[in-house]
Amino acid sequence: MPKINEVLIRTVFDEMVKHKAALSKYLIVDDEEEEEEEVDYRILGDQIIKNFPWPIGVELRRLFSGSMRELDRLRLDQIFKTIERTMQFICFVMLSQLWQDKIKGNITIPDGISKDFESRFTVLSMGNFTWLIRSIGNLYRDSKVEWFMPEMGENFDKKFYGALDFWVPERNEIGHYQINLTQEDIEKRCVEYEEKLTYILQTIAFLAKYKLVSVREIKVQKPKNREARFHHIIDLLNASDSDFAAKEIDEVRFSESNAVLLMKTIKSIDEYLNLSPLIIDTNAEVLDTKEKFGIKKDIFMYTKFRNDQLFYLGAEVTEKCDLRALSNYDQLVTEFKDLLSAISPASAKVEA
């Protein structure tokens, strides 16, 4: 009988290999070992963590940890947390592209989405995630507009949306402790939910092809009588811990500064999707004033917008953090309002 996590790990890893062939080396067992030697699932699990964007990877790291190996309430709650963060990340990627395509005139947003968007997005929930993912997914399909990640168009279908819908009533009842569960109920749900989580992670395994990065700094380099080049210092946000590796890229064009980008390759900035202000990185923030001492260095994801204030939740930091002292906070608020007005023009008219 498979041990906890093994089916999830092997199923998701096998799907990742289809999108990133280099991972197949971890499936090779040394020929000198015994014939019945098995693949080390700890290694495969670590590779899954590393190859998913960090907001998803950190939740899987928790789920795969030794403290989560019992079919108990702790594990059940972590399965919910993992699926919620996964849906949140996917939703933010889709919204970032919708915003970009709307600005470029590549897509027309129907009134049905535009009208309900602000109420659905200023305070997020799993129900709002599923509505946004389905609505935007169907819009791109009907408009025949290509995704930044083409695999989204291939994989996001009725079956996938239905798999997301499953979690909403479950989260409302069980996740918020509205019903009491016996130990037997918890064990059954741990098994059932892990299967459903496995399917969703399997469907988005293509994320292993892409890199999540943070643009820490851009320097202009202009030699005499030569074209200017832009020296990018970026941090890779795909890792098994938060000690992200830095990379440097020289280009004749530049990307957005102080932004979290989803890139097709870190060898060039030609193709990227800017995920800020929905996903931000505070690791480069210098805590040079007392007001900044409350800022934690982490990857943060937007959760709500209320009274002209943005609220975020960290990937590793579990406590609530007030990020208003960030040096680029005003810019984040401006960008968020730009997003709202681009997708829901009526919201801009109300503010005016």
Pair 186, 147 in one domain: yes
Weakest-pLDDT range from 24-33, 178-187, 320-329 = 24-33
One domain, residues 163 and 149: yes
Whether residues 180 and 202 fall in one domain: yes
pLDDT tops 60 at residue 72: yes
Q: pLDDT tens across 186-216, in order?
A: 999 999 999 999 999 999 999 999 989 887 6
Q: Would you say residue 118 has pLDDT above 90?
A: no
151 and 263 in a single domain? The answer is: no
239 found inside a domain: yes
Residue 1 lies in a domain: no
Q: Looking at residues 215-232, what average pLDDT do you find?
A: 60
Average pLDDT over residues 160-174: 87
Same domain, 32 and 151: yes
Q: CA–CA separation, 302 vs 304, rounded Å?
A: 6
340 and 252 in a single domain? The answer is no
Domain count, the chain: 3
Identify whether residues 39 and 106 lie together within a single domain. yes
The reported pTM is 0.89
Domain range holding 242?
210-275
Clarify whether residues 92 and 232 are in a common domain: no
Give the chain's mean pLDDT: 86
